[in-house]
Amino acid sequence: MDLEKEFELKDPKYRSATLTNGLGRSGQRALLYATGMDEEDLKKPFVAVIGSFSEMVPGHTHLRDLAERVCQGVLEAGGVPRRSETIAICDGLCQGHKGMCYPLASRDLIADSIEMVVEAHHFDAMVLLPGCDKIIPGMIMAAARLDIPAVIVPGGPMLPGNVGGNPLFCSSELREYPGRVETGAVTVEEMKAAERAALPTVGSCAHLGTANSMCMLTEVLGLSLPGAGTAPAVSNERKRIAKASGRAVMDLLRKGITPRQILTRETMLNGVAGAMATGSSTNLVLHLMAIAHEAGVELTLADFDRISRRVPFLCNLQPSGKYPIVSLDAAGGIPAVLKTIERELCTTSMTVTGKPLGELLKDVVPVPGDVLRTLEKPQKSEGGIAILSGSLAPEGAVVKQSGVKESMYHFTGKARVFDSMEEADAAVSAGSIGKGTVIVIRYEGPKGGPGMREMLSTTALIMGRGMDEDVALVTDGRFSGATHGPCVGHISPEAAAGGPIAFVRDGDEIEIDITNRRLEWKVSPQELERRREGWEPLRKPRKPALAKYAAMVTSASTGAVIDVEKLK
């Protein structure tokens, strides 16, 4: 008797055959039987269905239901789904305090955790279910890293609230209420009522913040099925997409299509173009560069700037515009956006449907309107994000120009310097920031924060007080997708790395010129050298997880990725 042949339960080409095949795998088979599998199951491919369920995060509370539907699709297509979860941190809950040090750092932890479970258990394919902000790029990074057949099923946007008779109310506006209360424009009772009504369902916050920017990006990159980027979290369509994704991943497995065949440089540039057309969050710059890094694809800030000048801002979405994400879904969603900018895209890029992008767009007919404009009559002639550089940011900086009033495209002011977001918040709330000020918040970068906190509490106070044409803000930290106004982030090198921002002093003149993509600090090279003498970076308290992150993270200009070369 050929004992090895006797225990060859599945085709050795499957990764999971390592667990099921061979005389010596008796213990592994017994463990699989203990989970409820039978011998027929052991003959089939194993598909990891990895969610990010959390009772704390509204964008994730419904993901178990979606995972069940994914499993149904996998079973129907002849696979064995096995579920597990990774962590999910809500950026919204972290705003304005030290908790915001953790979300960006969690991106790499999420990718690592998926690598560990998928590699340790030799899964053949995987379906990943993220909902918000850093969870989505973390999961895409894992897909690129592992390069086994994979489909992303994002949780989708929530419905907008109805506040004060406005049925299109989003939480991005709610963030400005504290500033309005401080100035008397809104009462305490009105703010409390708005808090209860602003977020009426599960899903990622209804505006085009980072969460929905990334949901939409999964579809632009071809990693999720059509409609997955914008279908409401509570819709039947979202459930059907989840089930279809289970079937789709099995088809990818049969065809041998893996993420790196999809995530080419051309696809990454499609992602940039989609971000420019929609007016996506500036965080997308960090995340798309990190995804490219994992896929082994070159992507630089220069690519973003070049495409920003070619692809106009088309989508009238909050916080830069009027409508929530569900309005874009009703107007045709991401397929309609991509069809509108089709001439700027690589249409031969492969997708998880097994078809190239151009074939998916073949029959799409956009219906132009107030939500989705045309190339001839865009919201703005350039893309939603601009890359600035200059003496204050030699390696670059990022601004969501779609959310900046044209009167502030060029602004020169005197610096008011703060070494933390909390210090800046206190100054704005105290009314001590005068017109013509450039607020400088430093030591909030990837290393210095650590974790590159979002400055949403500061920007929301500025906007809520109606100061968006009086002051500007620059930082080596980053901004929430809910941010709009004259706010420049990702300044690189950061203060903790000895970048010029570390040496700015109160009263220094700073010039922001979005049109010409410049960010200049009016201090001579000689004065800078004098200020550098004897300098030591400010070191903020950090627990072990953040200490490890700070030791290995790279600059925002390269996506704030982990430098694994330091580990060799």
Contact 276, 307 (CB under 8 A): yes
pLDDT in tens, the chain (568 residues): 576 777 888 999 999 999 999 999 999 999 999 999 999 999 999 999 999 999 999 999 999 999 999 999 999 999 999 999 999 999 889 988 899 999 999 999 999 999 999 999 999 999 999 999 899 999 999 999 999 999 999 999 999 999 989 999 988 888 888 888 888 888 999 999 999 999 999 999 999 999 999 999 999 999 999 999 999 999 999 999 999 999 999 999 999 999 999 999 999 999 999 999 999 999 999 999 999 999 999 999 999 999 999 999 999 999 888 999 999 999 999 999 999 999 999 999 999 999 999 999 999 999 899 999 999 999 999 999 999 999 999 999 999 998 898 999 999 999 999 999 999 999 998 999 999 999 999 999 999 999 999 998 898 888 888 888 899 999 999 987 666 778 999 999 999 999 999 999 999 999 999 999 999 999 999 999 999 999 999 999 999 999 999 999 999 999 999 988 767 6
Say how many residues make up the chain: 568
Residue with tokens 């017994």: 30
Q: Class of the 388-567 domain?
A: alpha beta
In degrees and rounded to multiples of 5, residue 401 shows phi and psi of -70, -20
Please report, for the chain, the start and end positions of each structural domain, with discontinuous segments joined by +: 1-43, 44-159+202-361, 161-197, 388-567
The reported pLDDT for the residue numbered 256 is 97
- Choose, from 16, 224, 480, 492, the residue flagged as catalytic: 480
Nearest to 443 by CA among 488, 395, 392, 495: 495
User: Catalytic site residue 52?
Assistant: no
Q: Indicate the pTM of the whole model.
A: 0.95
- Separation of alpha carbons 331 and 271, rounded Å: 20
Number of neighbouring beta carbons within 10 Å of residue 72: 16
Which string of b and e fits 433-457 if b means at least 16 CB within 10 Å?
beeebbbbbbbbbbbbbbbbbbbbb
The reported pLDDT for the residue numbered 485 is 74
* Domain 44-159+202-361, second-level architecture: 3-Layer(aba) Sandwich (3.40)
Cα–Cα separations (whole angstroms), residue 205 to 102, 210, 405: 19, 9, 24
Read off the amino acid at residue 467. Answer: M
- Separation of alpha carbons 293 and 317, rounded Å: 29
The reported pLDDT for the residue numbered 418 is 97
Identify the helix (H) or strand (E) that includes residue 337: helix 333-340
Nearest to 447 by CA among 566, 328, 279: 566
CB burial of residue 111 (10 Å; 0-12, 13-18, 19+): buried
The reported pLDDT for the residue numbered 142 is 98
